[in-house]
Amino acid sequence: MAMLKRTLAAVLAACAVSAAAAAEVGELVVIVSARTPLTMLRTDQAAGIFLGESYSLPDGGEAVALDQSVGSPLRDEFYRKVAHRSPALMKAYWTKMIFTGRGQPPREAPSSAAVRRLVADNPGMVGYIERAALDPTVRPVLVLK
């Protein structure tokens, strides 16, 4: 009985930590440069771009994915919502893609501000940031709730 109580307590603590981490992330938005004509992106289109399955935007323009750093709560939440994959599954996915020569993971930036700056300066880039980090240099094309 004591072991069951400890196990239950550990599970509840893990759930609380998970919920707290998710609450810290806030609302994520997929962004493009304000100079890009694209106004909307579907979740499956974003997944294709970030999983290396598509290299073009729906309007035919070039799409270059820009990730947050490995281990970032934003990155983990983004891939859970867009690709329905955990960090471990994403690591396995890119390991396989690299090993088979079918792709390379997206370039990384260390923060939402860095992602925003790079996307703003490069009309072909697609990134994701917290909604609170938006400014007029980028355009949100997908809101992830």
C-alpha to C-alpha distance for 2 and 119, rounded to whole angstroms = 53
Which residue type does 124 have? Answer: G
DSSP 30-42: EEEETTS------
Average pLDDT over residues 131-135: 96
CATH architecture of 26-144: 3-Layer(aba) Sandwich (3.40)
Domain boundaries of the chain, sorted by first residue? 26-144
C-alpha to C-alpha distance for 22 and 14, rounded to whole angstroms = 12
pLDDT at 24: 55
Give the predicted TM-score (pTM) of the model. 0.82
Average pLDDT over residues 114-123: 97
The whole-chain average pLDDT of the chain stands at: 87
pLDDT at 26: 86
Burial class (CB in 10 A: 0-12, 13-18, 19+), 93: middle
Pairing state of beta strands 107-109 and 125-130? Answer: unpaired
Q: Coil, strand, or helix at residue 104?
A: coil
pLDDT at 9: 43
Place of tokens 């396995």: 92
Given a cut of 50, whether residue 3 has pLDDT beyond it is no
pLDDT, tens digit (0-9, with 9 covering 90-100), for 9-61: 443 344 434 443 444 568 999 999 999 999 999 999 999 999 999 999 998 99
